[in-house]
Amino acid sequence: MLTFPKPVFWYNLTWQGQTWYETIKRWFLCFCGNKLVIRTCDLFCGVGGSSRGAAMAGATPVAGLDMWSLATDAYAANFKNATTYNMKASDLKPRTILEDVGEIDLLLASPECTAHSVAKGKKEGCEKSRETAFEVIRFARVLQPRWIVVENVIQMQRWARFDEWKTKLVGLGYKVNSGVLDARFFGTPTSRRRLFVVCDREREPTLPVEKIETSKTVADILGRGESLAAPWKMTQVWNADRATATLERAERAVETLGAKTPFIMVYYGSDGAGGFQQLDRPLRTVTTLDRFAYVRPTKTGHEMRMLQPTELAAAMGFPQEHRLPESTRREKIKLIGNAVCPRVMAAVVKTLTIE
């Protein structure tokens, strides 16, 4: 496939509603019979879930940015030909990306999301976190990508500045659409509802349609990454070191499912649904906390272990070739819990960019 470098001097020259660059590039590619290469830049890239999904859709990741060095290390390991920027988005001049890697056709972004929680309220620090979404505006103004995809928690829609933020995207010449998608309808063995905002400079953007719930379940991800020579250690559920709330959740599960049925237990916190689930359905939403335990019956009683990072990555839909960085278990789970499900992003990008 042929790339087409973007000379700086014609960024802003327009003809019939398009930049001269876009017009000449399309004429050139059409004449040469080459397929258009979709070059992507991933803001707040994390472990690379969005870029992995874009790549699955046929796009080419060329740049990723994140302020957490562990995230950019992981991104660089998985997208070796991409340029990574380990810094705050606010500290990087968008034109630097153009100078380093050239044109950007698709801008992906997952701005900070934790501050959109209702419990966070209107604290000053939280509002600064929410306002990282405006970095998308700043980068889009300079990079001028044809398409933009922004992913976030669904509570972003309640943000007091959400409409203002979308209006600024429209002001840059984009047509904007948004909706909530659940990963379990896109071949992913977890339930994860997230907001997707899609933008297109040339036509009305659409989102993929949720059709059939996946047949993939927790049972399909158990054991991903486990060595037969060194299986993960199991411990007895009922022992003096367990918290009372944990033992109560285990007792409810056994009483409901029967003593011979294995299950997943919420080890920390509460999920408002009894604290357990069967293995024949998608895993509940993966978070940044190490909270899911696999429990199975044995002749000597029930034993358990926590789900491992590789299993959680499989639940999120990451392919086996996607590498996690050398780091602590807690850090790996945080990276996975903050990630975008690749298969959902792949469907979004395919729907958005199909000609």
pLDDT tens for 60-106 read 999 999 999 999 999 999 999 999 999 999 999 999 999 999 999 99
165-169 own/partner pairs: CB under 8 Å, 24+ apart: 165/133, 165/134, 165/137, 166/197, 168/134, 168/137, 169/136, 169/137, 169/140, 169/197, 169/199
Residues 79 and 207 placed together within one structural domain of the fold: yes
Q: Is the domain of 105 the same as that of 199?
A: yes
Q: Could you tell me if 119 and 152 lie in one domain?
A: yes
Compute CA 80 distance to the chain's CA centroid, rounded to the nearest angstrom.
Answer: 19
Strands 60-66 and 39-43: parallel
**Residue 208: pLDDT above 90?**
yes
For residue 298 the two structure tokens come to 């044995």
Average of pLDDT values for 227-232?
Answer: 93
Residue 113's pLDDT is: 62
For residue range 305-328, list pLDDT tens digits in order. Answer: 999 999 999 999 999 999 999 999
Residue 236 banded pLDDT, cuts 50, 70, 90: very high
Q: CA nearest 249: which of 198, 304, 310, 320?
A: 304
Q: Are 337 and 286 in contact (CB under 8 A)?
A: yes
Provide the pairing of β-strand 235-236 with 18-19: unpaired
Task: For residue 87, give its domain range.
Answer: 38-211+341-353
Contacts of 204 (CB under 8 A, 6+ apart): 175, 177
- Do 42 and 145 reside in the same domain of the chain? yes
Residue 319 lies in a domain: no
The pLDDT confidence band at residue 167, using thresholds 50, 70 and 90, is: very high
Over 60: is that where the pLDDT of 17 sits? no
Q: What is the mean pLDDT of residues 121-142?
A: 82
Which is more confidently placed, 1 or 232?
232
Residue with tokens 């063995």: 189
Q: In this structure, is residue 14 part of a structural domain?
A: no
Residues 132 and 260 in one domain: no
**184 domain residue, yes or no:** yes
Q: How confident is the model at residue 8 (pLDDT cuts 50, 70, 90)?
A: very low
Asked if residue 206 and residue 263 are part of one domain, the reply reads no
Q: Is the pLDDT of residue 2 over 90?
A: no
Is residue 35 over pLDDT 90? no
**Percent share of the chain, pLDDT over 90:** 80
Query: What is the pLDDT, as a whole number, of residue 24?
Result: 56
Averaged over 41-64, what is the pLDDT? Answer: 98
pLDDT of 28 reads 47
Q: Given this model, what pLDDT does residue 270 score?
A: 66
Q: Which CATH number covers residue 153?
A: 3.40.50.150
Confidence of residue 127 (pLDDT cuts 50, 70, 90): confident
Q: And the tokens for 203? A: 């036509």
Q: Does 163 lie in the same domain as 67?
A: yes
Q: Name the domain count of the chain.
A: 2
In the predicted model, what is the mean pLDDT of residues 112-136? Answer: 69
pLDDT tens digits, 260-291? 999 999 988 666 678 999 999 999 999 999 99
Assess if residue 23 is contained within a domain.
no
Average pLDDT over residues 218-225: 96
Domain assignment present for residue 258? The answer is: yes
pLDDT at 336 over 50: yes
Are 180 and 278 within one domain? Answer: no
pLDDT at 128: 76
Residues 98 and 139 in one domain: yes
Once rounded to an integer, what is the mean pLDDT over residues 230-253?
A: 93
186 is a domain residue: yes
Whether 313 is covered by a domain: the verdict is no
Residues 167-172: what's their mean pLDDT?
97
Q: Specify whether 187 is located in the same domain as 248.
A: no
Residue 165 shares a structural domain with residue 266? no
Would 5 be classed as within a structural domain? no
The pLDDT assigned to 1 comes to 39
Residue 182 pLDDT class (50, 70, 90 cuts): very high
Residues 144 and 67 in one domain: yes
Confidence at residue 117, expressed as pLDDT on a 0 to 100 scale: 57
